[in-house]
């Protein structure tokens, strides 16, 4: 069979390329220098009664790049249940090897991967980490606040994430568009690359049945699941619960995305590893990750496969969320309110919003206001960077999983950190660099980090050469080829600079996007430009804060290109994108005007995607008066678009 031969070759090439031919534990690495020295650090990131999440960080202390890496470790009682950002094998001892996108470690840089561990009635263990690159410089630390490379899970084509929730507690997402993922309607959409697939009632995660594969004779023999067409360039959250047949020792199960076979002899464009876990015969475990459909090769199906060549295993409750091709076989869903079901939502004026009460207010001693928020939802957590004012403008960070608990989360000042204060921040993950970027002002600068949870970013560096006087509120968005830097000057003009993806973050020069010089001191094109890509549409949305004769509000335009031209959507005081005239306050009006904020994105990378069917806007609201502008008690609230 063509698929069989081609996929087998793909597995071999991946093993050779990604693991340097790892056959046993502690195999050597290919490095550019024979002098090998590194710190291999094991850290516990979070812990609960029955388990914990751990990270291993491998730092290259040589003066030359490392081309591939492999480490191993062993527990006495604990056992690993799932992992991300590495290829895993073994069962205590375990081996982790690099994935295709994190095999190179530059001199002085590090790579981290994570995994969930079951304590099995014991305490959390902190084993030594071994490997050719580790030399003697291994260490175990109780907790890491900065070494975990959480951002690695958002890489270009595949991104593995933790299945932290146990199968007993996790539930199917409401916007799942997988049809018959629970194997309730026969074997519709289920199949196999080889071996025998059957609908089994002997074991199931939910419902009345699961899919069982038997008769496997090779690692590439696996269950397949068909989700229909996927939209090129869009990211999907994909998962399935798996369980080994009774009596089978713990074994590694992987989820792979398969595109249609193309005309070349390689498999580079056809297979992408999405997630890997260690499966068990005693419980259902969640195999989950992110997949981005890229390139001209159309999508075919997902494959659930095992490293051990002859084992049998069950799969149940397959799910997928994200943007689908309208009209494709997968576009129907249990949820009709989200564009992740394939529904396309056009933004049409007039727009109407409802506002929450204040969700994030100053609570640290001396803080007067919190404003200018940038919000990123990443791995189920909202990360908010914002400006605060005490005696001058400074920066803060907070994170939470539910808006209703946002005020209870710690507010961490960035004052005195390496990055210093980052006023009016914008935060996003830049996939080509595998880094989080923070954009800030006075002057326009950027900083980077590997971990969005750690507010100690790198030192700031200049963003725009030839920046004009008075420039502020810098905003970056990228398409497939270029990055665009928008900014204001409080002069009725919106400016933009442009550079290639390869040249980012280096911008030079600028041009005018639009201008509005209405008189009487009124600023109809003021500050806080925001630009987003609408999910499922060839359309961009531009927002600019306006300051007419009354309270502040936002104007809006749309375009099919980041180069414009821009067509007005809702851009007047009477018909704003968001302002006093189109916001309802169910719990009582607390803010005068809608000012500097950010839409809650559907993704977290440089494309800045938003779901037009479920728009939410985190904004600063003027909740009172101050003796000066600086002392106005701004708080943060959330707008939700009415449908």
Instruction: Write the pLDDT tens digit of every residue in 438-449.
Output: 999 999 999 999
What is the predicted pLDDT for the residue at 418? 93
Confidence band, pLDDT 50/70/90 cuts, at residue 60: confident
Pull the structure tokens for residue 373: 């928020």
Asked if pLDDT for residue 136 goes beyond 60, the answer is no
Mean pLDDT to the nearest integer, 510-529: 84
Confidence band, pLDDT 50/70/90 cuts, at residue 160: very low
Pick the CATH number of 353-641 from 3.40.50.300, 2.115.10.20, 2.60.120.10, 2.40.110.20: 2.115.10.20
Asked if pLDDT for residue 414 goes beyond 90, the answer is yes
For residue 183, give the nearest of 205, 209, 212, 203 by alpha carbon: 209
* Dihedral sign of CA atoms 609, 614, 617, 618 in order: negative
Mean pLDDT to the nearest integer, 29-48: 57
What is the predicted pLDDT for the residue at 170? 65
Residue that wins the pLDDT comparison between 109 and 183? 183
Question: Which DSSP letter does residue 404 get?
Answer: G
Asked if pLDDT for residue 144 goes beyond 80, the answer is no
Listing DSSP states for 520-563 in one string gives TT-EEEEEEEEEEEETTSS-EEEEEEEE-SSS-EEEEEEESSTT
DSSP-derived 3-state class of residue 12: helix
For residue 384, give the nearest of 458, 455, 282, 474 by alpha carbon: 455
Asked if pLDDT for residue 341 goes beyond 80, the answer is no
E runs forming strands in 293-338: 299-306, 313-322
Asked if pLDDT for residue 147 goes beyond 50, the answer is no
For domain 39-131, say whether CATH 3.30.70.1230 is its number.
no
Written in H, E and C, the secondary structure of 262-300 is CCCCCCCCCEEEEEEEEECCCCCEEEEEEEECCCCCCEE
Cα(263)–Cα(246) distance, rounded to whole angstroms? 41
Greatest mean pLDDT range, 82-86, 320-324, 443-447: 443-447
Q: What is the CATH number of domain 190-322?
A: 2.60.120.260
Mean pLDDT to the nearest integer, 328-347: 44
Cα(207)–Cα(365) distance, rounded to whole angstroms? 53
Residue 617: partners with Cβ closer than 8 Å, 6 or more residues away: 353, 578, 594, 597, 598, 599, 600, 638, 639, 641
What is the overall mean pLDDT for the chain? 82
Residue that wins the pLDDT comparison between 326 and 63? 63
Asked if pLDDT for residue 163 goes beyond 50, the answer is no
48 contacts 166 by C-beta, under 8 angstroms: no
What is the predicted pLDDT for the residue at 264? 54
φ, ψ of residue 252 in degrees (nearest 5): -80, 130
Residue 350: partners with Cβ closer than 8 Å, 6 or more residues away: 570, 575, 582
Listing DSSP states for 211-224 in one string gives EEEE---STT-EEE
Within 10 Å of residue 366's Cβ, how many Cβ atoms? 9
Mean pLDDT to the nearest integer, 475-491: 94
For residue 191, give the nearest of 318, 66, 40 by alpha carbon: 318
Beta bridge partners of 199: 211
What is the predicted pLDDT for the residue at 199? 95
Confidence band, pLDDT 50/70/90 cuts, at residue 91: confident
529 contacts 486 by C-beta, under 8 angstroms: yes
What is the predicted pLDDT for the residue at 32? 31
Mean pLDDT to the nearest integer, 398-414: 94
Greatest mean pLDDT range, 43-52, 84-93, 155-164, 328-337: 84-93
Cα(377)–Cα(31) distance, rounded to whole angstroms? 37
**Domain locations in the chain as residue ranges:** 39-131, 190-322, 353-641
What is the predicted pLDDT for the residue at 601? 96
For residue 312, give the nearest of 402, 212, 240 by alpha carbon: 212
φ, ψ of residue 87 in degrees (nearest 5): -95, 125
Cα(389)–Cα(369) distance, rounded to whole angstroms? 5
What is the predicted pLDDT for the residue at 359? 97
**73-82, 109-118, 368-377: least confidently modelled range:** 109-118
Asked if pLDDT for residue 112 goes beyond 50, the answer is yes
């Amino acid at each position: 069979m063509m698929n069989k031969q081609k996929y087998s070759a793909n597995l071999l090439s991946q093993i050779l390329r990604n693991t340097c031919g790892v056959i046993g534990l502690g195999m050597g690495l290919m490095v550019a220098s024979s002098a090998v020295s590194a710190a291999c650090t094991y850290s516990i990131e979070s812990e609960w009664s029955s388990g914990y999440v751990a990270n291993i960080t491998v730092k290259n202390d040589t003066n030359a790049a490392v081309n591939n890496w492999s480490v191993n470790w062993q527990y006495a009682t604990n056992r690993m249940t799932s992992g991300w950002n590495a290829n895993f094998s073994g069962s205590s001892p375990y081996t982790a090897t690099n994935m295709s996108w994190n095999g190179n470690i530059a001199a002085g840089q590090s790579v981290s991967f994570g995994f969930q561990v079951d304590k099995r009635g014991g305490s959390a263990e902190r084993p030594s980490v071994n490997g050719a690159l580790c030399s003697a410089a291994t260490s175990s630390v109780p907790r890491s606040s900065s070494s975990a490379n959480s951002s690695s899970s958002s890489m270009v084509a595949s991104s593995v994430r933790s299945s932290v929730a146990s199968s007993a507690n996790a539930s199917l997402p409401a916007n799942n568009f997988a049809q018959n993922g629970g194997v309730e309607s026969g074997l519709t959409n289920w199949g196999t690359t080889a071996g025998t697939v059957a609908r089994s009632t002997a074991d199931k995660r939910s419902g009345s049945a699961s899919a069982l594969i038997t008769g496997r004779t090779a690692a590439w023999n696996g269950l397949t699941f068909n989700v229909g067409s996927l939209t090129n360039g869009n990211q999907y959250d994909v998962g399935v619960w798996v369980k080994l047949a009774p009596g089978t020792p713990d074994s590694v199960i992987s989820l792979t995305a398969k595109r249609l076979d193309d005309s070349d002899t390689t498999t580079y464009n056809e297979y992408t590893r999405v997630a890997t876990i260690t499966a068990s015969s005693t419980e259902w475990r969640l195999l989950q990750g992110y997949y981005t459909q890229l390139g001209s090769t159309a999508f075919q199906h997902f494959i659930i496969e095992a490293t051990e060549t002859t084992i049998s295993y069950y799969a149940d409750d397959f799910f997928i969320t994200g943007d689908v091709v309208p009209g494709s076989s997968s576009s129907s869903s249990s949820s009709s309110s989200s564009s992740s079901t394939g529904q396309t939502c056009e933004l049409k004026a007039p727009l109407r919003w409802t506002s929450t009460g204040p969700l994030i207010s100053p609570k640290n001693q001396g803080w007067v206001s919190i404003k200018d928020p940038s919000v990123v939802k990443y791995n189920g957590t909202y990360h908010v960077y914002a400006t605060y004012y005490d005696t001058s403008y400074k920066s803060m960070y907070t994170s939470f999983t539910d808006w209703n608990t946002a005020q209870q989360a710690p507010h961490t000042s960035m004052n005195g950190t390496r990055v210093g204060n980052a006023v009016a921040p914008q935060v996003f993950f830049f996939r080509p660099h595998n880094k989080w970027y923070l954009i800030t002002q006075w002057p326009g600068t950027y900083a980077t980090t590997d971990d969005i949870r750690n507010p100690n970013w790198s030192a700031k560096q200049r963003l725009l050469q030839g920046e004009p006087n008075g420039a502020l509120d810098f905003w970056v968005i990228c398409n497939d080829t270029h990055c665009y830097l928008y900014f204001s000057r409080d002069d009725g003009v919106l400016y933009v600079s442009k550079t290639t993806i390869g040249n980012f973050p280096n911008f030079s020069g600028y041009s005018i996007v639009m201008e509005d010089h209405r008189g009487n001191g009124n600023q109809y094109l003021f500050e806080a430009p925001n630009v987003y890509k609408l999910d499922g549409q060839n359309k961009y949305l531009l927002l600019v804060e306006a300051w007419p004769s009354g309270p502040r509000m936002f104007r809006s335009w749309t375009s099919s290109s980041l180069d414009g031209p821009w067509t007005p959507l809702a851009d007047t005081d009477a018909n704003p994108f968001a302002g006093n005239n189109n916001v309802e306050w169910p719990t009582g009006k607390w803010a005068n005007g809608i000012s500097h904020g950010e839409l809650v994105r559907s993704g977290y990378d440089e494309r800045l995607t938003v779901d037009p069917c479920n728009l939410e806007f985190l904004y600063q609201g003027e909740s009172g008066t101050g003796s000066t502008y600086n002392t106005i008690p701004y708080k943060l609230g959330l707008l939700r678009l009415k449908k």
